[in-house]
Amino acid sequence: MTNNWKLDGEWGKEKEVVLITGGASGIGELMARGFAKENGVVVVVFDLKEPVEPFPPNIHYHHCDVTSSSSISLAAAAIRKEHGDPTVLINNAGVAACRTILDESEEMIRKTLEVNVVAHFLMVKEFLPKMIEKNHGHVVEIASLGSFVTVAQLVDYCCTKAATMAFHEGLSAELKARYKAPHVRTTIVHPSWIRTPLISELYKSPKWKEAMLEPEDVALEVVKQVLSGRSGTLVIPKEGSWVRGLRAYPDWYQIVGRSGYAMVMDVL
């Protein structure tokens, strides 16, 4: 699916600066290393934790709290001075607690909302204006199949992923109808369960039976999507695309589907 049904056709014509939040580990790190293999690409990583393994020379780590506009502004000033404005923004940072509504602390609920949703607004407000000015860029939102179906013990996380989908749709509409910047691309990514530290307490349980994606599976698809110059919606794996239509079914069918996902989480 492509935004405005157009191709950018401008990837690589100027120096591309790819900015990835939560890029010091997991999927973010793999995306950073994937982009760094492209000629002329500079990769910038925002994260609170430093990378465990050394980055190559064209990946630059900046300590940044993406829930703080002042922290973002300080890091943004540094990268603009060193590399110029980002042409690709990947909102990848995320947290999850795997707790029921009653068991989860207020502190963690607020942190999940701030990292998984509020940070997307703050990052876009900081970096989108220059993309609009140049009518060139790409904003990628890392969401989840949880955007379409809320899972027991991941309610706050699924709420944030539904919000991420709404944010992506609204941003795409504003770029076309308000900012007249059709060559600023937008992509949203909906992966299934991924073998990352985010849900390690789930898949390390002997009761866990669900198929898992490897982080490389998702990172590679995102890199390919950005390099294509296309906007899009990625469901990974493609076999999970049926979940997007769940809400079109009768209520009883939706209840059965959600009940199945609730059983999946009953491993802790």
User: Which residues are catalytic, by number?
Assistant: 157, 161
Q: Which amino acid appears at position 159 of this protein?
A: C
CB atoms closer than 10 angstroms to residue 240: 16
Tokens of 119: 């940070």
Q: How do beta strands 137-142 and 59-63 pair? A: unpaired
**Which residues have C-beta within 8 Å of that of residue 174, sequence separation ≥ 6?**
none
Q: Is 180 left (phi over 0), alpha (psi -120 to 50) or beta?
A: left
For residue 139, the SS3 value is strand
Residue whose C-alpha is closest to residue 238's, from 195, 173, 192:
192
Residue holding tokens 């109808």? Answer: 177
For residue 227, the SS3 value is helix
Tokens of 242: 């049926």
Residue holding tokens 């802790």? Answer: 268
How would you label 84-110 residue by residue, b for 16+ Cβ within 10 Å and e otherwise? ebbbbbbbbbbbbbbbeeeebeeeebe
Pairwise CA distance, residues 180 & 135, whole Å: 8
Q: Which amino acid appears at position 19 of this protein?
A: L
Pairwise CA distance, residues 256 & 244, whole Å: 16
